[in-house]
Chains A and B, each alone.
Chain A
Amino acid sequence: MEHISFPPLSRVAICGGTHGNEMSGVYMVREMQKQKADQDGSLSLTTVLSNPRAVDACRRYIDKDLNRCFTEDLLSAPVTDSTPYELRRAQELNAQLGPKGSQEAVDLVCDLHNTTANMGLCLIFYSLDWITLHIYKYMKSKITSAPVRAIQLDIPVSEAYSLESVGKHGCAIEVGPQPGGVVRADIFNLVKEALDLTIEWLQGFNSGSTFEGGEVEVYTMVKSVDYPRDPTTNEITAAIHPELQDNDFKLLRPGDPMFLKFSGEAVKHEGEELYPFFINECAYYEKKIACHLGKKSNITLPSASVMKN
């Protein structure tokens, strides 16, 4: 079997409150800062409250979605008095944890998110990164209280717009369902377990363990579907159908109901069979997304260990 080695991963950033109303990350970062968790064996941990103004207001963002501000263009744009808060903040975070693409960037950025969708625990990343995939494989083997899945966005890193793209390796840990502004103990405990396992894997990796390769299942986004809307007012005319609601990652076949109009008719899925996720995510109404649809595939992971010098 193929084997791959990496230099040690010693600098890790845990970010919460990138969206100010996604409370697991907010409370996790605060708790870690209270416990003064900054050195853990071979790891130097940086905890960051990404969007403090949005956290104070308990809102997703103040001017602009922070988690769309990390493209190379936006990170290098000049800042003026009229620059939206989040663009400024993204540049600050890039200076602190990056710069993106450079040798000084932290080894791993873990960005904690919640979703109103019934997605369990998902690791979301851009391109196929063996480190994040190994962490995913490790989490999936140990966590029994919720399903653990991986979603790959398939966007080149230079166009990657979210916070975790600042680190040499990165992933978003997305856990749901949880309403905005609410902290659920079961969801918080799941996030904590995921973080503890991430740190455990990193410690193991840095101390020379070999992590076996193997097949892992990954979802890749294909497209998004918007709500049916009134053509003149643009207001939605249907809700996610009760048979689709909460059925993230359950195969959607042509003819399966997707939406239930307020007038009573069902709108069915047309086109190829795909896996829906981010079904009825609160923040996506304004992005014109009722759900994402994706394909499932198996990826063969090589075994991995730290480079010995």
Chain B
Amino acid sequence: MSGVTLVNLWVKNSAEIQRKRVETKPFITNPKAVEKCTRYVDTDLNRAFSPENLSAPEGDDLPYEVQRAQEINRIFGPKGSPEAYDVIFDLHNTTSNMGCTLILESSKDHFNLQMMNYIKKAIAPASCLVLLNEHPLLKYSTSRSIAKHPVGLEVGPQPQGVLRSNIFEAMRVILKHALDFIELFNEGMEFPPCTVEVFWVSERIDYPRDANGNIIAMVHPNLQDCDWEPLNPGDPMFQTFDGKTIHYQGPGTVYPTFINEAAYYEKQQAFVITRRETLVASAIRKA
């Protein structure tokens, strides 16, 4: 609900998101789903921006979200072309205890890396971590991928359908700093090289399931809410409904996140495993 509420606020009064020399457009990507207070109507919009979907012949028989993806591609894209928007901020919440997270889609997007570095420093000592999803199989076709510089904002924990004040205000502050960065960049400020710590997605871990596909265990209480904390081989990972512990058996320490996200049960994901890396961002300056 944070993104929905913020965008509705800004559609009514956009003063807060105006910056010199920047055209900012607040936009509700999935209005039918918002109206029904559900994640999606036919299919997950944030997986719908694939090349196949975007190039499919238009038609009312297409799932609602595919039609919507095509429409969004027309408004803010076309994806991959020079006409595409420079930046899309895609506002999300999660039931996982991820705090404020920025999601990056490319390790070579120096503009985004510099922006994320700026945001992290601006909100310190509060934390804002960067999740990098560049995995060839696990990467997915997001709505923000239409833009040249896609930025995902993921703030949690918040139940679906609920608006928590602290989560709402945190997302609002991150956006404020992001827009400040763009304004500074447009004014000609040079941003020197910097390093950015990222959590690089490496693997998706599903729940243990029975032959019918039903889950037979839950995220273990020791792992629940421990997003970004080290998970070591032998640590408890799942607890079966009848009380047994299943341990993590991987080769080394990993950093799990998206732990127990409501929407991911149907996507076969209990959590995602990341490794910590430091990326170097080149200096950037407006040409």
Binding site for B on A (CB under 8 A): 27, 30-31, 35, 59, 116, 177-186, 188-189, 235-236, 239-242, 245, 260, 262, 280, 282-283, 285
Contact = CB atoms under 8 A, between A and B. Distances in A.
A113 to B, nearest CB: 14
A180 B157 CA distance: 12
B281 interface: no
B165 A185 contact: no
A183 B221 CA distance: 11
Contact of A242 (B38, B162, B165, B218): B165
B164 A280 contact: yes
A182 B94 CA distance: 11
Contact of B218 (A35, A183, A239, A280): A183
Contact of A260 (B158, B165, B215): B165
A180 B161 contact: yes
B160 interface: yes
A181 B224 contact: no
The 3 closest A-B pairs by CB, nearest first: A179-B159, A181-B262, A239-B165
A181 B165 contact: no
Given A185-B224, A186-B221, A186-B224, A179 B157 contact: yes
Nearest to A27: B241
B262 A182 contact: yes
B159 A184 contact: no
Contact of B160 (A180, A241, A262): A180
Interface string B246-273: 0000000000000010110100000000
A179 B93 CA distance: 12
A157 B25 CA distance: 54
A180 B160 CA distance: 7
Contact of B265 (A177, A181, A241): A181
A181 to B, nearest CB: 4
A282 B160 contact: yes
A276 B52 CA distance: 51
28 contacts: A30-B214, A59-B38, A180-B160, A181-B95, A181-B160, A181-B265, A182-B95, A182-B260, A182-B262, A183-B218, A185-B219, A185-B220, A185-B221, A185-B224, A185-B239, A186-B221, A188-B241, A189-B221, A235-B8, A239-B165, A240-B164, A241-B165, A242-B165, A242-B166, A245-B164, A280-B163, A280-B164, A282-B161
Interface of chain B: mostly helix, strand, loop or mixed: loop
A107 B221 CA distance: 34
Interface of B: 5, 8-9, 38, 95, 157-166, 168, 214-215, 218-221, 224, 239, 241-242, 260, 262-263, 265
Contacts of B8: 235
A242 B169 CA distance: 10
Instruction: Find the residue from A185, A235, A285 having the highest chain B CB count within 10 A.
Output: A185
B224 A179 contact: no
A283 B158 CA distance: 14
A186 B224 CA distance: 9
Contacts of B5: 239, 262
Contacts of B224: 184-186
Nearest to B262: A181
B218 A180 contact: no
B155 to A, nearest CB: 14
A234 to B, nearest CB: 13
Contacts of B157: 179
B95 A239 contact: no
B126 to A, nearest CB: 14
Given A27-B241, A31-B242, A189-B221, A184 B260 contact: yes
B79 to A, nearest CB: 30
A283 to B, nearest CB: 8
A260 B167 CA distance: 13
Nearest to B172: A262
A193 B71 CA distance: 51
A293 to B, nearest CB: 19
Contacts of B260: 182, 184
A14 B161 CA distance: 27
Contacts of B265: 181
B38, B162, B166, B214: residue with the most chain A Cβ atoms closer than 10 Å: B162
A262 B163 CA distance: 11
A42 to B, nearest CB: 24
Nearest to B266: A58
Contacts of A236: 163
Contact of B162 (A27, A116, A188, A189): A116
